[in-house]
Amino acid sequence: MTTAEHSPTAAGSGASATESFRAGRRDHVAADVPPERVSAVVGAVLAGVHDAIREHEVSYAEFQAAKQWLIDVGEGGEWPLFLDVFVEHVVEDVAARSQQGTKGSILGPYYLPDQRKLPAVADLPARPDEQGTPLVFTGQVRDTSGNPIAGAELDLWHADSEGYYSGFAPGIPEGNLRGVIVADNQGRFQIHTIKPSPYQIPTDGPTGKLITAAGWHPWRPAHLHLLVRAPGHRTITTQLYFEGGEWLDSDVAEATKPELVLDLRPHGDGALRADYDFVLEPA
Ligand code: DHB
Ligand code: FE
């Protein structure tokens, strides 16, 4: 198979992300929002659009181009990609106002539930010829009083050495570089995987075309995604980045935080090691 056949298209990744959102748990979707709140929030969003049109004297031709672009985003299934890159970080900022312990970050569009459960010391599922620098990721999960949380779960997923996610890009086995690690009775874990590469928003779809049209760049720094959870504790949705990583200071999704950057140490044979301790607050 050629590289081109492996390359995920925007349409492929976008459609998969939309399908995954539809299939996902819907109990986190707000229902029965009172009319006063709908009016206040949607009214503010529309007022922002109106202000931008007045301030920049948007023409009819530009308005129609925007309408076409919105139609294309929907038809390409790219709303999860677009919203998670350009909007989710602010929703996360608001949620973070009431959160103690480890800092959170955006979930993004590529989470898949029900991955393989793995013991505290484990290899993340990978292809026999998985490319990339080997990474040993160790640490401990504790509560806000400093007590280890036995059996805490780390639901971990990340891109491969080309920046592609299993379940969304073609040609990658199901469950690759995904797993739920169960920490030991001291809350400790040691995960063997590879260091992912930076992620690029697919450039061939409407989101990519907008980025090009605006002269922005489409990159996110390399990152690990994690949900860290334990009974009786508030689940943390976060991402960890790598010190010195490209795009760390200009993440298109604005989802980095200084507290979420891993220090890397050599681990022999060209491998790297990173340690990180998670702190969960009571639910
Ligand atoms: C998107 C992709 C990611 O891998 C991520 O972590 C956040 C957002 C996106 O394409 O929307
Ligand atoms: Fe990601």
**Cα three-residue angle 217-203-205, rounded to 5 degrees:** 130
Tell me the average pLDDT across 165-184. Answer: 97
Bridge partners (DSSP) of residue 219 are: 200
Ligand 1, closest atom to CA 202? 10
9, 18, 81, 82, best to mutate for ligand 1 pocket (most atoms within 8 Å of CB): 81
Q: What is the Cα 26 distance to its own chain's centre?
A: 18
Residue 73 near ligand 1, beta carbon < 6 Å: no
Q: Which of 166, 283, 176 is nearest to 228 (CA)?
A: 283
Q: Give 71: exposed, middle or buried? Use CB within 10 Å, 0-12, 13-18, 19+.
A: exposed
Provide the pLDDT for residue 24.
Answer: 80
Which residues, at least 6 apart from 54, have a Cβ–Cβ distance to it below 8 Å? none
Provide the pLDDT for residue 2.
Answer: 36
Mean pLDDT (the chain) is 94
The four Cα atoms 231, 236, 239, 241 give a dihedral, to 10 degrees, of -90
**pLDDT 10s digits, 57-90:** 999 999 999 999 999 999 999 999 999 999 999 9
Tell me the average pLDDT across 212-239. Answer: 97
Percentage of the chain modeled with pLDDT above 90: 87
- Inter-residue contact 193 to 138 (CB < 8 Å): no
Tokens of 128: 């026999």
Tell me the average pLDDT across 186-201. Answer: 97
Give the C-alpha separation, 283 to 278, whole Å: 15
Asked if the model's pLDDT at residue 1 lies above 60, the reply is no
- Inter-residue contact 168 to 133 (CB < 8 Å): no
0.85 exceeded by pTM: yes
Residue 255 Cα to ligand 1 middle (Å): 10
110, 172, 239, 251, best to mutate for ligand 1 pocket (most atoms within 8 Å of CB): 110
* Protein residues within 5 Å, CB atom, of ion ligand 2: 108
Residue 222 near ligand 1, beta carbon < 6 Å: no
**pLDDT 10s digits, 10-40:** 657 777 888 888 888 666 788 899 999 999 9
Tell me the average pLDDT across 167-181. Answer: 96
Provide the pLDDT for residue 8.
Answer: 60
Tell me the average pLDDT across 34-54. Answer: 98
Bridge partners (DSSP) of residue 266 are: 272
Which residues, at least 6 apart from 98, have a Cβ–Cβ distance to it below 8 Å? none
Provide the pLDDT for residue 22.
Answer: 84
The four Cα atoms 102, 106, 110, 115 give a dihedral, to 10 degrees, of 20
Asked if the model's pLDDT at residue 3 lies above 60, the reply is no
Tell me the average pLDDT across 100-121. Answer: 97
| Cβ atoms within 10 Å, residue 13 | 26
